[in-house]
């Protein structure tokens, strides 16, 4: 699912005792639950990766939230009771909207033309057209359309956006709707709606900037064709070609400190007085 309902009143009542880190863990776990529509695996390392938890404090917060709000079920997986009830309902509504879009949306209301006094039943109403020559009205269309039928023909020829509402509900930063809708219609994005919705779903789980709260307005995303951009993830590549989580500031400082101490110990073992003296250490001590 690319969208799920969140009720601030219920959320505040059930989570008022959580810390800031625990609120973040709850939100990330719930987003993953709805986006995959599946229960969560129980391995702690899996939970840490989902919540981007690197410090001991963050990992402890993840486990507390998982145990309280995502208990392990009989199938050996972590479940959230409310999500398990809500997902089938939301899925039914989304599938229904998608099918209606494929069928052309709601049926067009029948057009009723106005009758003209004195007109024959099998004839179109007379239309007055002012000519440009010496005889007014000398050039007329042989079969003029009634005014309402002509307007209907123009409306049918206009571009449509039957799946725009489905996209707008799924997009997390719904600002600039009018501009986004106009762009969607003009470019016929109904044809690639599935691709766009899949990109929105993946970015909510993987995009580094989106996860930090930097989500472009819906209008900006549509105008710039955001689904064609690469997704910047929070992972970085190490020397052997595999991926590892990005190093936090505290972790980086601890690693540099350990490397510094290791260099001093090696210099002391080898009797390198110059290095030790530069750092205030004496071999005679």
Query: Given a cut of 50, is residue 205 above it in pLDDT?
Result: yes
CB 154 within 8 A of CB 198: no
Residue 243 has a pLDDT of 54
3-class DSSP assignment, residue 212:
coil
Strand partners for 244: 236
Residue 175 neighbours by CB under 8 Å, 6+ apart: 217, 218, 219
| Range picked from 63-72, 124-133, 249-258 for highest mean pLDDT | 63-72
Query: Given a cut of 60, is residue 74 above it in pLDDT?
Result: yes
Q: How far apart are CA 127 and CA 146, in angstroms?
A: 8
Percent of the chain surpassing pLDDT 70: 68
**Mean pLDDT throughout 60-78?**
94
Q: How far apart are CA 116 and CA 58, in angstroms?
A: 77
**Angle between helix 81-102 and 20-36 (nearest 10):** 40
**pLDDT band at residue 246, thresholds of 50, 70 and 90?**
low
| Number of domains into which the chain is organized | 3
Dihedral sign from CA coordinates of 267, 273, 279, 281: positive
- Does 104 reside within a domain? no
164 and 232 housed in the same domain: yes
Residue 183 has a pLDDT of 93
**Mean pLDDT throughout 272-278?**
61
20 and 69 housed in the same domain: yes
- Does 98 reside within a domain? no
228 and 257 housed in the same domain: no
Residue 89 has a pLDDT of 82
- Please spell the DSSP secondary structure of 12-37, one letter per residue: HHHHTT--HHHHHHHHHHHHHHHHHT
Structure tokens at 45: 């390392």
Query: Given a cut of 90, is residue 168 above it in pLDDT?
Result: yes
Higher pLDDT, 281 or 186: 186
- Does 142 reside within a domain? no
- Does 268 reside within a domain? yes
Range list of β-strands (E), the chain: 235-237, 243-245
Phi, psi (5° rounding) for residue 3? Answer: -155, 140
**Mean pLDDT throughout 194-207?**
93
H or E element in which residue 266 lies: helix 249-270
Q: What is the dihedral of CA 199, 200, 202, 206, to 10 degrees?
A: 120
**pLDDT band at residue 77, thresholds of 50, 70 and 90?**
very high
Percent of the chain surpassing pLDDT 90: 44
- Does 151 reside within a domain? no
80-126 tens-digit pLDDT: 998 898 888 887 777 777 777 777 666 666 655 555 455 555 555 55
218 and 271 housed in the same domain: no
Residue 21 has a pLDDT of 92
Comparing CA positions, the residue from 52, 50, 54, 46 lying closest to residue 248 is 54
Query: Given a cut of 60, is residue 255 above it in pLDDT?
Result: yes
Domain end residue (candidates: 19, 51, 83): 83
**pLDDT band at residue 130, thresholds of 50, 70 and 90?**
very low
Residue 94 has a pLDDT of 75
Structure tokens at 136: 């007014």
14 and 79 housed in the same domain: yes
Where in the sequence is the domain holding 270, given as residue range(s)?
A: 248-278
Query: Given a cut of 60, is residue 41 above it in pLDDT?
Result: yes
């Amino acid at each position: 699912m690319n969208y799920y309902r969140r009720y601030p009143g219920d959320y505040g009542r059930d989570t008022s005792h959580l810390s800031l880190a625990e609120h973040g863990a709850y939100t990330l776990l719930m987003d993953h639950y709805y986006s995959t529509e599946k229960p969560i695996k129980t391995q702690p390392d899996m939970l840490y990766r989902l919540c981007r938890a690197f410090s001991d404090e963050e990992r402890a917060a993840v486990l507390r939230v998982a145990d309280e709000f995502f208990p392990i079920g009989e199938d050996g997986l972590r479940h959230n009771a409310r999500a398990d009830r809500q997902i089938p309902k939301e899925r039914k509504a989304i599938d229904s909207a998608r099918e209606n879009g494929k069928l052309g949306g709601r049926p067009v209301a029948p057009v009723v033309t106005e009758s003209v006094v004195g007109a024959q039943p099998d004839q179109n109403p007379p239309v007055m057209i002012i000519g440009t020559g010496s005889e007014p009205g000398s050039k007329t269309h042989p079969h003029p359309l009634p005014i309402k039928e002509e307007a209907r023909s123009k409306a049918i020829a206009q571009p449509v956006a039957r799946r725009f509402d489905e996209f707008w509900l799924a997009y997390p930063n719904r600002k600039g709707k009018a501009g986004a809708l106009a762009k969607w219609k003009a470019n016929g994005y109904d044809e690639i709606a599935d691709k766009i919705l899949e990109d929105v779903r993946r970015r909510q789980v993987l995009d580094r900037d989106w996860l930090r709260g930097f989500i472009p307005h819906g209008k900006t995303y549509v105008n710039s064709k955001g689904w064609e951009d690469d997704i910047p993830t929070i992972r970085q590549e190490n020397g052997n070609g595999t991926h590892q989580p990005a190093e936090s500031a505290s972790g980086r400082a601890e690693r540099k400190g350990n490397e510094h101490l290791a260099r001093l110990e090696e210099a002391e073992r080898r009797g390198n007085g110059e290095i030790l003296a530069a750092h205030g250490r004496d071999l005679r001590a």
